[in-house]
Amino acid sequence: MQDPQDRDDMQNPHDPANSTPDDDMIAFAREVFDVARRGDAAMLDALLAKGLPPNLRNDKGDSLVMLASYHGHADAVRVLLEHKADANLRNDNGQTPIAGAAFKGFTDVIETLLSHGADVEGASPDGRTTLMIAAMFNRVEIVDLLIARGANPDARDANGFSARDAAEKMGAPDTAARLAAANPRG
């Protein structure tokens, strides 16, 4: 009989290359993602200072920045970005943190992301930009901010729609009017 330690097909449970997350590790990861969702900037700062990877992602590809952005926590987003988290890291659906913040209407989060290098366009795989998302949901303040920071009101998604077209299609009169005034031909 062969000694189990000599067999190539036996995995050493103490070898990190052969380990799978245990229940405690999975529970800890869930807690970390909840900290981002709740926007606990102080706790995130402490965890990051102890070595938590700033670009940690959940099973849907949502980064800590994505979760904090989507839930409207500008201070948590700032802490993550100061710890070198990627402001443009897309989730498994190709969505960016800035697009999530625009969808939810969090102007302060968008300002934080932009001041830390987020792409003002933040286009999804179908070409839908952050400006289009803000326009669709009648978020005038965000539309103004994005245009002031260089967003292209003439950009078109995969279906050929501009931000103004998206606003009109979604019945968002304020942003449609704002985009028409800013770009009468677009």
Structural domains in the chain (count): 2
Same domain, 28 and 84: yes
pLDDT of residue 15: 54
Same domain, 127 and 177: yes
- Residues 156, 161, 162, 165, Cα dihedral to 10°: 180
Q: In degrees, to the nearest 5, what angle opens at C-alpha 39 toward C-alphas 37 and 44? A: 100
Q: In degrees, to the nearest 5, what angle opens at C-alpha 22 toward C-alphas 17 and 28? A: 110
DSSP state of 69: H
Residue type for position 148: A
Q: Of 58, 93, 128, which residue is a domain's last?
A: 93
d(CA 69, CA 78): 10
In tens, the pLDDT along 68-125 reads 999 999 999 999 999 999 999 999 999 999 999 999 999 999 999 999 999 999 999 9
In tens, the pLDDT along 141-180 reads 999 999 999 999 999 999 999 999 999 999 999 999 999 9
pLDDT at 32 exceeding the cut of 90: yes
Q: 10 lies in a domain?
A: no
Same domain, 163 and 126: yes
In tens, the pLDDT along 63-78 reads 999 999 999 999 999 9
* Global confidence as pTM: 0.85
- Specify whether the CB–CB gap between 159 and 143 falls below 8 A: no
- Specify whether the CB–CB gap between 162 and 136 falls below 8 A: no
The tokens for 27 are 């529970």
Residue 75: give the domain boundaries. 24-93
pLDDT at 9 exceeding the cut of 50: no
pLDDT at 18 exceeding the cut of 60: no
Instruction: Determine the angle formed by the axes of helices 97-104 and 107-115, rounding to 10 degrees.
Output: 160
Q: What is the CATH number of the domain that holds 44?
A: 1.25.40.20
pLDDT band at 185 (very low <50, low <70, confident <90, very high): low
Of all residues in the chain, the percent with pLDDT exceeding 70 is 87
Average pLDDT score over the chain: 90
Q: 143 lies in a domain?
A: yes
Q: Of 51, 76, 93, which residue is a domain's last?
A: 93
Q: 100 lies in a domain?
A: no
Same domain, 85 and 31: yes
pLDDT band at 4 (very low <50, low <70, confident <90, very high): very low
Close Cβ partners of 67 (under 8 Å, ≥ 6 residues apart):
33, 36, 37, 58
